[in-house]
Amino acid sequence: MEQQVLFLLLAFIAEILGTVGGFGSSLFFIPIASYFIDFQSALGITALFHLSSNVSKLTLFRTGIDKKLIYQIGVPSVVFVFLGAYMSKLVATELLKNILTVFLIVLSVLLLLYENINWKMNLKNNLIGGSVSGFLAGIIGTGGAIRGLLLTSFKLPIHTFIATSALIDLLVDSSRTIVYGLNGFIHVHDLFLLPWLFLTSFIGTWVGKLILNKVDYKKFRTLVLLLILMTGLLELTMAFS
């Protein structure tokens, strides 16, 4: 019981950070979940958690969805998430965790050092960004950071950014949930967590929205990146301990 409460508390914190940081809660939730359950089961429960997370975001940030970005980034994301989710069954669990660890460290360091990384909003960049983020979401459970970086560089209004990202995420999560289910990553004994995860994600998104209205986004984004780096370094330390 105590572990379940701690699990939901950490999921709540992950949702707040993911909402405000613009990277999505899975970047934090995957490492958290893998402490409590095996990595492949963590992929399954993360997909379910993310579904509820994105429904919450669309409910609270429903104005301003950019339809062009949905087509240009969302469609390739959905196509490549199937490939990544299928490959997740073929790759050893420990290797997947190591890939995630390296991804967290490298991404956070790059974004901290080069905070003004920008992509031009054109069809080529949107297709590449959507494909990479979808594939990573499928194989290691999180690709929202790549899409978040892409959308951030477009200088979108905050509600447009979050709503557009959430709708793309919802399409991606719906797709990978199907593949994870077929892979056997989603277990009946974990489904009792769903109502609690939905409640956690909704409240976490709502708190994130309140924070966004009051804080300096640039400073908070730096804090989130430092937390991502710390998460990756902690995973690396545990891997060699």
Q: Give tens-digit pLDDT for 150-181.
A: 777 777 777 787 888 888 888 888 888 888 88
The answer to whether 119 touches 153, Cβ cutoff 8 Å, is yes
26 versus 123: which is more confidently predicted?
Answer: 123
CA neighbours within 13 Å on the CB side: how many for 169? 37
The total domain count for the chain is: 1
What gap in Å lies between CA 94 and CA 114, rounded to an integer?
30
Q: To which residue do tokens 């062009």 refer?
A: 68
Q: Which two tokens stand for residue 101?
A: 């660890």
What gap in Å lies between CA 119 and CA 154, rounded to an integer?
7
- pTM of model > 0.75: yes
Structure confidence at residue 75 as a pLDDT band (50, 70, 90): very high
CA neighbours within 13 Å on the CB side: how many for 62? 5
pLDDT at 28 over 80: no
SS3 category, 182: helix
Q: Which domain holds residue 86?
A: 2-240
Compute the average pLDDT of residues 126-142. 86
